[in-house]
Amino acid sequence: MPLTDRDRAILDYERTWWSEDGSKEAAISERFELSTTRYYQLLNRLLDDSDAMAYDPLVVLRLRRQRDRRRRARFEGRKGTETKGR
């Protein structure tokens, strides 16, 4: 399914959000009229979309790396907690 205007706007925002004033959460709510939870659900879906990759590969790859690091950290944290009790 091709990217929607909102999909492209989310990717465009992720490219430059740090250059804006104010909190990211407030900007997401104001700009996209979404909760931050819903925004990140949509963003994560986009990271696995080949059309999103074609539209902005640098942003998609950067965000995939960040997501993978967070997942690894959560997994390794749980793994470390399980072995401490033994």
Residue 16: name the closest of 56, 69, 65 by CA.
Answer: 56
Question: Is residue 60 exposed (0-12), middle (13-18) or buried (19+ Cβ within 10 Å)?
Answer: buried
Question: pLDDT class for 11, splitting at 50, 70, 90?
Answer: very high
pLDDT at 1 over 70: yes
Residue-wise pLDDT tens digits, 20-48: 888 999 999 999 999 999 999 999 999 99
Quick one: tokens of 76? Answer: 């390794």
Residue-wise pLDDT tens digits, 52-78: 999 999 999 999 999 999 888 888 877
How many other CB atoms are there within 10 angstroms of residue 67's CB atom? 15
d(CA 62, CA 41): 17
The pLDDT assigned to 20 comes to 81
**Domain of 34, in residue numbers:** 5-84
Domain count, the chain: 1
Residue 71: name the closest of 50, 36, 54, 47 by CA.
Answer: 47
Q: pTM of this prediction?
A: 0.80
